[in-house]
Structure 1
């Protein structure tokens, strides 16, 4: 009996072995993300702190609104609300609101954070567990009466669970006692169903702030240390090639070109093992690289994140810019550039361009200046917006964002920042001089 039982057990094991072998050898290999587990790095607090929205609209109720860009002390409170409300929740269900109902919410005491186009949507979802939210995030609404609402490409989306908020009305009442510049939406002005806000009066900027070419005035000891960090070699081991507009430094497969106009161009052609990298990892690595090798990231914020390819290899481009009094600063040269652009592939920085310009403290004498009304700027450019006779209710239908900014003429060694408008019109970005109304950057027609 025992021998017969052993025979049955052995036969069963043999059949099981054959089944497993068949699955191992004949099943198709895993593909895509199943082949290599994707990394899920967590952004550090230092980098998350640079992921601030572009501006905050304050709705006082009764059709009164204002806007502020001083978000460093404000955003952390609302960031914690998102963390506490969504972190750890699984299978979040969203309800799409009629957009007119969402616009009516702006008539209640509330705050709305404008999110820069294409920059933070995936990162917000990564950090705040919003993976089930479809569409690119353009704004986040907070109120004690309606909780949290996300404005996305798909419309106004509200979580089905209740988010209880407090202290928002208290903050809004405190602002009512201050002198705030009035704003109104496209919906209120022109009947365009979009919660895009424009200043009702001529915007006031800080004038007299001078930016200069830091690379031209950089001490030799610091320049040598900068090259040593980037090229990972002593200055005596570098091959130096002087040219008319720049100096090229070479060490193996790495190069640094220092242009006379203040632009640093770093390239790395070395090969490394392939590593899985997602958007959060790219941002973390880019800020780490810039901080470690240049040490100059004061007042630098994350401007844009976009996927790129090179030779069939996918990577990310991380763009950073300066801010001045909470407003973004854009360098305006012969080509539209940003201050810092980092290209990463396989978790390796393959290229970095860094325009070394910053505030010249001894030259700056700040004073208030008024810019042009945005409607005046629109009227000056029929080649972009259309003829004024068509009416603003038609001209501004494609308008998705208008932000105040500063423009830095990087072609001059020293130059005062110029007040400007950053405009997202349809899918095109334009930069306008707010003093003259001229189009000076972006995707000009």
Structure 2
């Protein structure tokens, strides 16, 4: 009889967990398209792997023959563990620095390259992709991982390039190359296009096919019962114990030393005002806690990536501020604001001091179809906007470009609006956004 009771108790717990997952999916809409499997939060490790998925994969077949796609999650799932295990063996002794020209010439050989939206700390990368949280002496940033057809590994980050000596991956890349070629967009790099020795890829086609979708504030016209559910989840008590204040379109919920505010324009803000004592920084523990908090409180299990990490202080306590941004597929979504990312969270070991999220969701009636978007050539866009760059020559401007990506810009909040595909160009410390079709300047940061 006791065993039967324990069995019923276990079933009840499982049921409650499934119910929680189901409720979170009803409140927080997935950023994945409808034709893909809905993801649920399984554990912190799985979410971290999702967060650290590269933005795109490049298949190199030869000189001026490269194919690039953002549809790469299946390839990353197959290879990430192996890559992590190999990178965990990297030390200052077996990383050989190579020059830029040598690395660019490697792009002419059969290979694949995983490229990230922003550089990640090497130690954070290898510890969070793999199952082991071990220490290593890698002191570099990782923004690209190159795998040759012989399994050789090259790492690039912040203008430096390295070969991992005497260590190779175990998986073949032929099938990946064939599939990326089939569905990717043909591309060339700056070296091939302009003779500029930079690891920057640009489309070599006139059009790109992307899913058409609209976004809207996730809190605009949100029902009161769902706001209460959100408050209960953040403050971890029933709504009857929570004090609520509503002023000028903002709902503020208070329980003891915790505060949550929800604004109609989509801003979620949480703060913890109780005392704590954290005198030493622990990056892995803080990042684990940040991801756990996001998963538990918001139900988000996909569609975000880690943009950057900064140390922060509060009353002599030491922690980290993590910046997360959203992506549609693997294309980053960029706010027209200079102040913040989609998610900012301050964590001091296991304590979350502040959380801020600009919550948007896909429109209730999106059109799930692909559309062709024209891609104006980069040099033509630069030539059109020379006045922005002190009328320097086009080649001088191209030479000074530090990075270039395709991103989505979102300019609406309470009304549904389609994001605009734009080139994000890092030039002389500023970030310029140009409409890919017209070449017009959209925003400068």
Tell me which interval the TM-score lies in, with the shorter structure as reference length.
Answer: 0.7 to 0.9
In the alignment, structure 1 residue 323 sits paired with structure 2 residue 327: yes
Kindly tell me: are residues 278 and 423 of structure 1, through their superposed partners in 2, closer, same or farther at Cα, counting changes over 3 Å?
farther
CA distance in 2, matches of 1:181, 1:309: 44
Encode CA deviations 1:249-291: one digit per residue, 9 max, x unaligned. Answer: 2333222221121111111111123264432222211111111
User: 1:401 maps to which residue?
Assistant: 403
Kindly tell me: are residues 332 and 391 of structure 1, through their superposed partners in 2, closer, same or farther at Cα, counting changes over 3 Å?
closer
Kindly tell me: are residues 349 and 377 of structure 1, through their superposed partners in 2, closer, same or farther at Cα, counting changes over 3 Å?
farther
Q: Within 5 Å, give how 1:32-431 maps onto structure 2.
A: 44-87=45-88, 92-127=93-128, 131-145=136-150, 147-153=152-158, 155-163=160-168, 165-176=170-181, 178=182, 180-206=184-210, 208-274=212-278, 276-333=280-337, 335-373=338-376, 374-382=378-386, 384-387=388-391, 390-392=393-395, 394-431=396-433
SS where residue 375 of structure 1 aligns? helix
Kindly tell me: are residues 238 and 154 of structure 1, through their superposed partners in 2, closer, same or farther at Cα, counting changes over 3 Å?
same
Give the paired residue count.
398
CA distance in 2, matches of 1:130, 1:146: 24
Q: CA RMSD in A?
A: 2.8
CA distance in 2, matches of 1:408, 1:242: 28
CA distance in 1, matches of 2:313, 2:383: 39
Encode CA deviations 1:282-341: one digit per residue, 9 max, x unaligned. Answer: 2211111111112233423333333233444432122223322321222325x4543222
* Superposed displacement of residue 358, structure 1: 0.9
Kindly tell me: are residues 154 and 422 of structure 1, through their superposed partners in 2, closer, same or farther at Cα, counting changes over 3 Å?
closer
Q: Is the contact made by 1:70 and 1:326 (CA closer than 8 Å) also made in structure 2?
A: yes
SS where residue 82 of structure 1 aligns? helix
TM-score by length of 1: 0.80
Larger Rg over CA atoms: 1
Kindly tell me: are residues 180 and 386 of structure 1, through their superposed partners in 2, closer, same or farther at Cα, counting changes over 3 Å?
farther
In structure 2, stretches of 5+ residues that fail to align are 1-42
User: 1:30 maps to which residue?
Assistant: none
CA distance in 1, matches of 2:140, 2:286: 21
In structure 1, stretches of 5+ residues that fail to align are 1-41
SS where residue 193 of structure 1 aligns? coil
CA distance in 1, matches of 2:213, 2:166: 47
* Superposed displacement of residue 122, structure 1: 3.9
Q: Is the contact made by 1:291 and 1:297 (CA closer than 8 Å) also made in structure 2?
A: yes
Which 10-residue stretch deviates more, 156-165 or 101-110? Answer: 156-165
Kindly tell me: are residues 303 and 71 of structure 1, through their superposed partners in 2, closer, same or farther at Cα, counting changes over 3 Å?
farther
Kindly tell me: are residues 225 and 124 of structure 1, through their superposed partners in 2, closer, same or farther at Cα, counting changes over 3 Å?
same
TM-score by length of 2: 0.80
SS where residue 399 of structure 2 aligns? coil
SS where residue 308 of structure 2 aligns? strand
CA distance in 1, matches of 2:439, 2:313: 36
